[in-house]
Chains A and B, each alone.
Chain A
Amino acid sequence: MDYSQFLLMPQELGLLLVFLLVFIYDTFMPQRSQDKLPLFTTILFALFTIYSFVPCQMGHAFGGMFEANPATWVMKNILNLGVLLVLLQSIKWSNSDHVAVRRGEFFELLLLTLLGMYLMISSRHFLLFVIGLETASLPIAALAAFEKKYYESREAAAKYIFTAVFSSAIFMLGISFVYGMSGSLYFTDIATSIIGHKSALLIAAVAFVIAGVGFKLSLVPFHLWTADVYQGAPTAVTSYLSVISKGAAAFSFLVILVQVFGSAYADVWEWMLYALIVLTITLGNLFAVRQRNLKRFLAFSSISQAGYIMLGIIAVNTTGMASMMYYILVYIFSNLAAFGVIGVIERATGKVSMDDYNGLFRTNPWLAFTMMLAMFSLGGIPPFAGFFSKFFIFVGACQQGSVAIYVLVLIALVNTIISLYYYLLVVKAMFLRQDDCAIPYIDSHWTEELGLTVSVFGIILLGVASGVYAQFDAISESVKNIFALI
């Protein structure tokens, strides 16, 4: 019993501490100071974010069940940044009348799900992974049902929980097959014991595992819940779901595919992933084209973005890993900028349809401007960060070198045109169209403004400042052997 091993997980412990403090505040502080809870949480979390940037000890713990390495460390920090933005953007919303009574739970659940994601990222054992996954996904259902005022919120929660449980059943079925073949749940053990086999059982297992994690990532055809839930859930939750949860899932997906199946089964899962990427990008885009509800629209857009993220995995190389982390970081800033604007407008006017945004530029230039930057970044337009992340992830994929991968990248690139089309639709609504009854000027809260400003700076600077990517590259280079990357 070596409890000192817990010291290898300072980020988890820190987060737990934040959670506990918030919990205590929520439970024990008097009612009148409750409206300071969101700010309190945010500040606390900001401190924690800074703290977790402090380099910590790397290594295994719990017999290899838990691993802290530079990649997981940086990934968690990326998520922290995202969560911090989400928190900033939700302060004002969580104090609004109809959710104020539950705001404590909102923040607590948010932090707990984040903890679940930490576990997903760091776990090297399927049981721990499943627990992390469930921790990261089950409370989301509760969060989705947060806006009790709206029926859609409840429906979203119901759809989410059923598909989530179903997917976890499939996932665990897959794990049971893996277990049946290897006799262990430790990633490293599995990787060594399945070498040499190429059985139908393991193929089924890989497919089910991909399906299970693909659910979190909303890869087509495991994505169908996404749009409904994104649309129904409160905007803060949607933004959380679309970036943080996706980022964590993407990274852990990489870990599972590369660490568990990478050595022996690369050619199997790469083709599976190939098909999924094509489907995901294409169908996500096709669905997005006709959406008028912005949240639903961003849901489909995020589906296709997930496809792009997967391009970083398929090549199994350091560039891919670095560019995937970079992509996630950029994606967090871009998407949160978009959701931030949507959130502000929804909070003030309750409008989320693209048609309501007509003429927004005339009345709310800064919101429109931010939204436009977000759209451009998502669409991959230079000099915004999205361009760089897309380019790098394509480079990462192409590094593999086969013609098939080039074809895949070409498909992805052709899809960027479709995606550009619908991103421009938003820009068109805001800038090109004019409306006499456009949304009037919105006086946004300073926290929202701060959140948006940070996002905008992120969008603009992340690409131009090459240091960030260089850092990621160095990190993925340093974990090259751990992940058996090329």
Chain B
Amino acid sequence: MESVGNIILYFVIAIAIIVFSVLTVTTRQILRSATYLLFVLFATAILYFQMDYQFLGAVQIAVYAGGIVVLFVFAILLTHKPGADAEPLSTHRRWLGLSAAVLGIAVCGYAVFSHAAFCGRQLATVADLDMATIGHFLLSTDKWGYLLPFEAVSILLLACIIGGVVIARKR
């Protein structure tokens, strides 16, 4: 039996995620869209906190909310043309989108819900995840260690930086 607080929190998160997700993709104002995304990301971060992954929640807020959304806002401002968002969506496209989304949810939903192992699983209590453990795993070269991905992702980021530079350069 969960604590009531948890349940309420869950519903807040769930509703926030659902509502803001819908708003993100349906609003015509692109800036608002970015804002709703921010809310979704915040809600997700809270979900992580609820899952006891505080570090992850913090990263989510820092990187996603702090970094990516800002990037979006910059981009929007850079490309924004007043009145450009006013064009209505064509019904055809909307149906297309809707069908894809529904189909996706249906298939994945069936897959997920039909999997017996998932049903009725409750949250087990675990020891607090401290930064040392995370750090240890991150730099471990043994099994379950993540040194290599850590190095690899740095290369990925480097590559993306170079790529970004190439693209963004005027010449």
Q: In chain A between 266 and 294, which residues have their CB closer than 8 angstroms to a CB of chain B? A: none
Decide yes or no: A134 and B156 within 8 Å by CB, A127-B146, A128-B148 being known contacts: yes
On whether the beta carbons of B167 and A128 are closer than 8 Å, the reply is: no
**What distance in Å separates the Cβ of A246 from its nearest Cβ neighbour in chain B?**
19
Other-chain residue from B118, B141, B149, B162 in contact with A131 (beta carbon distance below 8 A): B149
Q: In chain A between 107 and 149, which residues have their CB closer than 8 angstroms to a CB of chain B? A: 108-109, 112-113, 115-116, 119, 125, 127-128, 131-132, 134-135, 138-139, 141-143, 145-146, 148
CA distance A106 to B146 in the complex (A): 30
**What distance in Å separates the Cβ of A38 from its nearest Cβ neighbour in chain B?**
16
- Whether A5 sits at the interface, judged by CB under 8 Å, is yes
On whether the beta carbons of B159 and A139 are closer than 8 Å, the reply is: yes
- Chain A residues within 8 Å of B164, by CB: 142
- Chain B residues within 8 Å of A73, by CB: none
- Chain B residues within 8 Å of A56, by CB: none
Decide yes or no: A105 and B166 within 8 Å by CB, A63-B141, A180-B118 being known contacts: yes
Interface magnitude class on chain B: 35 or more
- Whether A403 sits at the interface, judged by CB under 8 Å, is no
Question: Chain A 86-108, CB within 8 Å of chain B: the 1/0 string?
Answer: 00000000000000011001101
CA distance A64 to B148 in the complex (A): 11
Chain B facing A: main interface SS: helix
- Whether A204 sits at the interface, judged by CB under 8 Å, is yes
On whether the beta carbons of B114 and A142 are closer than 8 Å, the reply is: no
Interface-side segment among A195-203, A225-233, A305-313, A437-445? A195-203
- Chain A residues within 8 Å of B114, by CB: 199-201
- Whether B111 sits at the interface, judged by CB under 8 Å, is yes
Interface magnitude class on chain A: 35 or more
Q: In chain A between 181 and 202, which residues have their CB closer than 8 angstroms to a CB of chain B? A: 181, 186, 199-201
Report which A residues bind B (CB closer than 8 A).
1-3, 5, 16, 61-66, 101-102, 105-106, 108-109, 112-113, 115-116, 119, 125, 127-128, 131-132, 134-135, 138-139, 141-143, 145-146, 148, 157, 173, 177, 180-181, 186, 199-201, 203-205
Given A61-B141, A109-B159, A201-B114: 10 more A-B contacts, CB < 8 Å: A5-B141, A62-B141, A63-B141, A66-B148, A102-B171, A131-B156, A181-B117, A186-B143, A199-B115, A200-B110
